[in-house]
Amino acid sequence: MGKVVLVGAGPGDPELITLKGIKYLQMADVIVYDKLVSRELINYAKPSSFVIFLSNDDIEVDLLRKYALEDKLVIRLKNGDPYIFGRGGKICQELIKDGIECEVIPGVSSVNSVPAYAGIPLTFNGVSDMVTIVSAVSQGGKLFNFQKIPDYGTLVVLMGGRRLEEVSKWLMAKRDPSEDVAVIERGTYLDQKVHVNKLEKLAEVGNNLATPSLLVLGNVVRLREILWKFR
């Protein structure tokens, strides 16, 4: 029987994949990737590798299972880290039920790397000693219950770019509207864009943001003024 390896591909910049991730790409019989993964990473594949672009997540597990049962080494490239809002745990759970070995190679998560590329440290002595991470949209398209978030510290919100007006409304019900917020489009890519504003004006950014996008809320956003001067 073959094996499935979930490889964290990093947040976008192809140079942020790990050495171990590259090693597996060079050995792979089958490589599965999607639109959130840099196509440049496929250059590491051996000429005989079968490369599949996945456009429908609903068939993901079936596809990985199929080739693993054909005695193939199957690599699934996942944006960021497979175990941070990447469905990695669920994928491995399903494959292990069928007796298929599933290994995970951790990746550089967008949670910390995207803010870093925008000059925003998630923690800073005397500014913030706590980070909360949420996905704005849960399974089925339901908006996260922002009443659960703490009223202080750094907040990172993933996958909220297309519903920014709704997210803004619910955040202001829990957090200070005068807090600084940054919205980062296509973080770590060459065309990265950063919008900095007050929470009360977050909705002005609009809902037509590029994918992927990420939101950082809290006093650490102010540090961008001294830590980043390029974008």
pLDDT in tens, 44-80: 999 999 999 999 888 999 999 999 999 999 999 999 9
Give the separation between CA 11 and CA 7, rounded to whole angstroms: 12
Q: Which domain holds residue 219?
A: 110-227
Q: Residue 75 pairs with which residues in a beta bridge?
A: 5, 31
Q: Do the Cβ atoms of 157 and 214 come closer than 8 Å?
A: yes
Give the separation between CA 218 and CA 197, rounded to whole angstroms: 11
Q: Which of 70, 88, 105 is the last residue of a domain?
A: 105
Angular region, 140: left φ>0, alpha ψ -120 to 50, beta rest: left
Asked if the model's pLDDT at residue 207 lies above 90, the reply is no
Question: In this predicted model, which residue has the larger pLDDT, 200 or 207?
Answer: 200
One domain for residues 140 and 179? yes
203: exposed, middle or buried (Cβ count in 10 Å: 0-12, 13-18, 19+): middle
One domain for residues 157 and 94? no
Mean pLDDT lowest for which of 21-25, 69-73, 220-224, 225-229?
225-229
One domain for residues 66 and 10? yes
Encode pLDDT of 109-131 as tens digits: 999 999 999 999 999 999 999 99
Residue among 127, 130, 10, 143 at smallest CA distance from 77: 10
One domain for residues 128 and 219? yes
One domain for residues 57 and 143? no
Give the separation between CA 4 and CA 24, rounded to whole angstroms: 11
Q: Which two tokens stand for residue 230?
A: 């390029």
Q: Residue 8 pairs with which residues in a beta bridge?
A: 78
Q: How many domains does the chain have?
A: 2
Give residue 230's pLDDT.
59
Containing 197, the helix (H) or strand (E) segment is strand 193-198
- Cα dihedral value 68, 19, 188, 226, nearest 10: 150
Mean of pLDDT over the chain = 94
Q: Which of 70, 105, 140 is the last residue of a domain?
A: 105
Give the separation between CA 29 and CA 186, rounded to whole angstroms: 30
Token pair 């949209």 is at which residue? 137
